């Protein structure tokens, strides 16, 4: 198995919505984004699948060293071997890879966050840093696109937090800020109960509204000249906002059962978004050709 095949298999097996936004990319960009996503899966699996904390810490330290080896041309892992040729095509910053690892480290160091300011640091490292790498692959000309990537990453991570709130609680992690739990009279152990009383429903709606605000801000900050290149990110936005819609339509009952979109629904959303963005891009070019 080649490094690229390893990354493709790792990405496809995850069942993530990200996979559906990658399929329509040109080959060079598709290889790069799958290698990047496979890296994210590898370091995320360290904290989710290794039960012994000290072992997980050692493994994350190894990944920090491996990223250093990658940027010095001597990677060892299939994922970084797949990333190595991409360094010549895309302007990746080593800092963002380390930020992502720092986000995973936070899962070992903290199991709750006092305020949204504290949580936002985690969301930046776990998701916005990924977005700041992906826009290098998709391509952009306006530096403001970096703000779009930051806010989209925040929105995606906040949606994940709401979707996975019970699963995370079972791992003794609560990502909803402590001061907001207190505001809605919710205790962390309430997330282990398969029921959705009104105070929890109101808390979850508060979280969903914050995520929606970040989706709105992200699109507002995306410069028109970069929008078509960033269409894979817009596919992600569409899929995750649709998931948020389903959660809300279901009455925020994420503690009672898992809410997710089918692969067919994700493919349809990706196809529909691409058609919409192509039309938007044609209209933009016509307007600026005059």
The pLDDT of residue 16 is above 80: no
| Segment among 7-11, 74-78, 270-274 with least mean pLDDT | 7-11
Q: Kindly report the backbone phi and psi dihedral angles of residue 143, in degrees, each rounded to the nearest multiple of 5, phi listed first.
A: -60, -20
How confident is the model at residue 94, as a pLDDT?
96
pLDDT tens for 77-136 read: 999 999 999 999 999 999 999 999 999 999 999 999 999 999 999 999 999 999 999 999
Please give the mean pLDDT across all residues of the chain: 93
pLDDT tens for 31-64 read: 999 999 999 999 999 988 888 889 999 999 999 9
How confident is the model at residue 18, as a pLDDT?
67
Q: How far apart are CA 283 and CA 286, in angstroms?
A: 5
Q: Kindly report the backbone phi and psi dihedral angles of residue 86, in degrees, each rounded to the nearest multiple of 5, phi listed first.
A: -75, -20
Query: By the 8 A CB rule, do 249 and 30 touch?
Result: no
The pLDDT of residue 20 is above 70: no
Q: What fold is seen in the domain 110-290?
A: Farnesyl Diphosphate Synthase (1.10.600)
Other CB atoms within 10 Å distance of the CB of residue 121: 15
For range 61-81, the mean pLDDT: 96
Secondary structure class of 213 (helix, strand, coil):
helix
For range 141-153, the mean pLDDT: 97
Which residue ranges make up each domain of the chain?
Answer: 1-92, 110-290
Q: Kindly report the backbone phi and psi dihedral angles of residue 254, in degrees, each rounded to the nearest multiple of 5, phi listed first.
A: -70, -15
Q: How far apart are CA 98 and CA 67, in angstroms?
A: 8
């Amino acid at each position: 198995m080649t490094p690229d095949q390893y990354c493709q298999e790792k990405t496809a097996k995850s069942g993530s919505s990200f996979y559906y936004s990658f399929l329509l990319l040109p080959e060079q960009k598709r290889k790069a984004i799958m290698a990047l996503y496979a890296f994210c899966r590898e370091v995320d699996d360290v904290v989710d699948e290794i039960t012994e904390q000290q072992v997980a810490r050692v493994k994350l330290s190894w990944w920090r060293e491996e990223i250093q080896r990658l940027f010095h041309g001597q990677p060892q892992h299939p994922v970084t071997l797949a990333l190595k040729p991409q360094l010549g095509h895309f302007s990746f910053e080593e800092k963002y890879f380390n930020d992502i690892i720092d986000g995973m480290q936070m899962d070992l160091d903290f199991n709750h966050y006092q305020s949204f300011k504290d949580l936002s640091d985690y969301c930046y490292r776990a998701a916005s840093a990924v977005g700041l790498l992906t826009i290098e692959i998709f391509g952009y000309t306006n530096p403001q696109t970096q703000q779009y990537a930051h806010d989209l990453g925040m929105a995606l991570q906040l949606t994940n937090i709401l979707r996975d709130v019970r699963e995370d609680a079972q791992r003794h992690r609560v990502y909803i800020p402590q001061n907001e739990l207190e505001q809605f009279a919710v205790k962390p152990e309430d997330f282990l109960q398969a029921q959705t009383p009104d105070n929890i429903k109101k808390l979850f709606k508060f979280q969903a509204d914050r995520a929606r605000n970040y989706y709105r801000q992200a699109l507002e900050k995306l410069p028109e000249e970069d929008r078509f290149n960033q269409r894979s990110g817009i596919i992600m936005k569409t899929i995750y906002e649709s998931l948020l819609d389903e959660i809300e339509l279901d009455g925020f009952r994420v503690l009672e059962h898992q809410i997710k979109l089918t692969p067919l629904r994700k493919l349809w959303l990706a196809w529909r978004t691409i058609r919409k963005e192509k039309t938007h891009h044609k209209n933009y070019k016509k307007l600026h050709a005059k």
